[in-house]
Amino acid sequence: MSIVYCVLYWWMWYNGLLLAGLFFRILYSLLRRRFLPYPSLSELHQYRRELALAESFSRNVVLRVVASPAINIQDVWSTFKEYRASTKKAKSDQNARTATLQTETFEETQIIVDDIDSDKGPGFEEEDVVKKLLSAQHILGPILQIANKVADIHERIKNIFLWRRPQVSAAYSFVLLALAILTAAVPAKLLVRGATMGMGIFFWHVVPVLAALSPSERARIPPPLMHSPTDAEYAMELISQRIARGLPVKPKRKKRTSPVGSQANLSEGMSSREQLSSLSTQDPTDTVVDWDKWGGRVTRTHAWAGDVRNVLKGSNWRDLGRWKSINPFNPERTSSSEQHIETRTFPAQRGKSPGLITLVATTLYFTPITSSKPELTIGLDKILGVKKSGVTRGLKIRWAEIGPNGLQENQEERFLFVGERDDLFARLVGWNSTKWLRT
């Protein structure tokens, strides 16, 4: 095969078809993925070989680089503690010695000052280490931003070939076809001159304009291949579609049921240790608490208690004809003309009061267990930020609110615990297909 590719390369070079062949090859890969989306057996084997090579490479990197770093977090923390201790010691020594300066001569005072300066030496050296670490952080920050942008471009190109958005992939297919025909028809001399002209325009006229822009104005420039989504944007689209259809954000796994007889025969042939090991390897999702079910039960109980409270209020409770149906198993029928709005409930802890977070089409409510009215109301269109916080599955929500003076004020609320927090987070972020930024 190498001989065939070598002959083909030099033949295309002699006829000036290298660039056209490159565009046709990319177009072939794009269209092949559209009409043959599933990989072949040889491609699967090649993919497994690449995975094995990647795992061996990462293992070597971990052994040679990550296993023995020059400076890690513990070193930084110990350096910071030693720096604080040395500065405190220098200050205490300075205070003790300045008290003796009033009774000693100028020569003795000069000696003491020299001693104090010598005591500050190690502290200042450690301060220099901290400054170097901060300067390294300032250097690594732009590098990480560039790496993030390169990763986004790679994801956009990959999603073009995966046909995540068929209209975008089809448009790029026509662009590749036009470039292939153009490069095949135009002489190589004109192509080289046109390519160098484009590079000169970009380097001498576009780059200075980009460098003169402020960071805020530069951030408004759309990224390359902006019509193709990244993996995060595509995931948000899927979440928004599932929310709009009333489906759970995370699809539930189907439980695998085995026949009773085969399970009994299997348990008879196993020892107790094997049975314990088989029980320990069961799917952990089977034991996860179904917060949606318990939230629904708490909501029904809360509504039933409110109906009882309304019935017993005043003197109308003696009139049996004015009683509502307070049996939770026999609710009143609603007319079919009423619009169905999906409602989700999540047990939550706000400060010292436990309660329920109720999420409807346009609003989020928090109602304490001891109250029948919501204590907190947030419009979904006013939410500015959502953040997961704490080891107890907490959640922070920041939103905009019009204050008494008529100006917009930013409010923030923290829930210490939220049942099914990931589901609530995904629904808030995926509401109405809003564009979000990672901070």
> pLDDT tens digit string along 142-174?
788 888 889 999 999 999 998 989 999 999 999
Expressed in angstroms, the distance from the first to the final Cα of the chain is 49
pLDDT of residue 173: 93
**Is 376 inside any structural domain?**
yes
Here the CATH number for the domain that contains residue 380 is: 2.30.29.30
**Is 210 inside any structural domain?**
no
**Is 387 inside any structural domain?**
yes
pLDDT of residue 170: 92
pLDDT of residue 82: 66
**Is 25 inside any structural domain?**
no
Which of 103-107, 387-391, 408-412, 434-438 ranks highest by mean pLDDT?
408-412
pLDDT of residue 158: 92
pLDDT of residue 247: 74
**Is 280 inside any structural domain?**
no
pLDDT of residue 174: 94
**Is 39 inside any structural domain?**
no
Structural domains in the chain (count):
1
Pick the more confident residue, 257 or 306. 306
Average pLDDT, the chain: 73
The whole-number average pLDDT for the span 337-352 is 70
Whether residue 40 is predicted with pLDDT greater than 70 in this model: the reply is: yes
pTM for the full predicted model: 0.57
**Is 365 inside any structural domain?**
yes
pLDDT of residue 315: 54
Domain hosting 361: range is 292-313+341-433
**Is 86 inside any structural domain?**
no
Whether residue 363 is predicted with pLDDT greater than 80 in this model: the reply is: yes
pLDDT of residue 87: 61
pLDDT of residue 295: 64
The whole-number average pLDDT for the span 92-103 is 57
